Amino acid sequence: FADIDPAAKADEIYEFLVGQGVYARMAADYGGFQALTLE
């Protein structure tokens, strides 16, 4: 998934579901995507 921009993909999904890209607002309110390290 290295070629996927999570913010752009989230906006694409939000635009489909609610009619507008709201990722920036949600990231500001709740925090954006962060890398996870699973052990």
- CA quadruple 34, 17, 4, 37: dihedral, nearest 10: 30
pLDDT at 2 over 80: yes
pTM of the predicted protein model = 0.69
Q: Express each pLDDT in 16-33 by its tens digit.
A: 999 999 999 999 999 888
Average pLDDT, the chain: 91
Radius of gyration for the chain, computed over Cα atoms and rounded to the nearest angstrom = 11
Q: What is the pLDDT of residue 7?
A: 92
- Cα 17–chain centre separation: 13
